[in-house]
Amino acid sequence: MSFTEGYNTEGIQKETGYSTAPSVGEEAYCTEEQLEFCPSVSDMKLMDNKLQLIEEQLQYLLRKADELQHRLIFSKDNVQKEDFTCVVPTFLKTCQPYFNYLESTARSTSPGQSPLPLYIYTQLLQFSQQLCSQLEQLVLIYASYGYISLAETDPKCVSHFYIGQCQVYNIKLSIFRYCQHTPFLASASNGLYKRMRWNVEHKKGTEAGGEEEQNDNRTEVTQGMEEEQEAKRERTMEGDSTEYYFLCYEDIHLTEVEAMREQTDRRTGEEAVLRMWSVGKWVQIYPDPDTEDINDWVLCTIPQGQYKPLVYLGEEEPPSCVATDCLLGALLSEADESITHPIT
């Protein structure tokens, strides 16, 4: 049985019928209404067994990454360069289903779905973090030997790799990790460096209710015209539905007074620098996203944009799973505000 066949969120939930695990220090008890959803000893054992199988798959991938690293370091001179050039990209693709499973199982949420127990959620994301760190190290060492490029100006570069996908209600995230601190703009340096990227799609729900009944009273011609217009609107919305968010840092140069306020350690005569991490959004400036002139897109070799910070995370680089949590929190907060305060 393959990994993707052996593990899926729905299967775990149907077999266990669990509810959220209590936090540390909280008593593990259930009300009468929750009693049927509380995990029994056998349910907990089943979940632990599944976690063990998932960890075994992780250890297999970690060993493979170690083997590829040792193969490079202890290889003989007569090994063809082409043999090493495709090794890392191929292995990164091999790891994609595992990343997908971890992220989707831990995070994916839909209305009426029970959340994972906290310890399982945490463990799955720790597995993802372990594999991500190992792959990052593998990419960097192959790049140091000159077999792959990390420069985004190189069409064949391996500057970043895919670490999973999830969908939280109507928000679909595809997650990518940069192997090193990479300039936010490939064409120019603006002092901003990216570490992660999220492709965010907002899925549109369908309206239900009395619409079908109303359609029965319309003529075929009217319905056809409206359906065609709606299809055009959907195609337009789908084309612009993907947004891009980043985990970035920027070095802020402090004045002497600011340095004393921040209590930054530095030697006399040295300039104090504060590294600030944030999660933000790519906002396109040119071509204008709303332009109808196709020439602007055809003649533009590299789109121009700016970074709009949404959440500041402090001076320490957050783990990838924590950064994704912060982005989801910001997106869900924006969604709640738009529902509470609709734009008129």
- Local confidence pLDDT in tens for the 344 residues of the chain: 333 344 443 433 333 333 333 333 333 333 444 434 455 566 677 888 899 999 999 999 999 999 999 989 887 655 666 678 899 999 999 999 999 999 999 999 887 778 888 999 999 999 999 999 999 999 999 999 999 999 988 888 999 999 999 999 899 999 999 999 999 987 777 789 999 999 999 877 533 333 333 344 444 334 444 444 444 444 444 444 789 999 999 988 776 555 555 555 555 555 678 899 999 999 977 666 666 666 555 556 566 678 999 999 999 999 999 999 999 999 998 766 655 444 43
**Residues 225 and 90 grouped into a single domain:** no
The β-bridge relationship of strands 242-254 and 272-286 is antiparallel
Range of the domain at 298: 169-206+217-344
Cβ(335)–Cβ(171) below 8 Å: yes
Task: Give the pair of three-digit tokens for residue 343.
Answer: 């734009």
Q: How many CB atoms are located within 10 Å of the residue 271 CB?
A: 10
Q: Is residue 197 part of a domain?
A: yes
Number of structural domains the chain divides into:
2
**Residues 344 and 257 grouped into a single domain:** yes
**Residues 148 and 117 grouped into a single domain:** yes
- Maximum Cα–Cα distance across the chain: 82
Establish whether the linkage from the previous residue to 287 is cis, with ω within 30° of 0: yes
Let me know how long the chain is.
Answer: 344
**Residues 83 and 123 grouped into a single domain:** yes
**Residues 69 and 194 grouped into a single domain:** no
**Residues 30 and 116 grouped into a single domain:** yes
3-state secondary structure string, 182-220? EECCCCCCCCEEEEEEEEEEECCCCCCCCHHHHHHCCCH
**Residues 296 and 343 grouped into a single domain:** yes
**Residues 265 and 337 grouped into a single domain:** yes
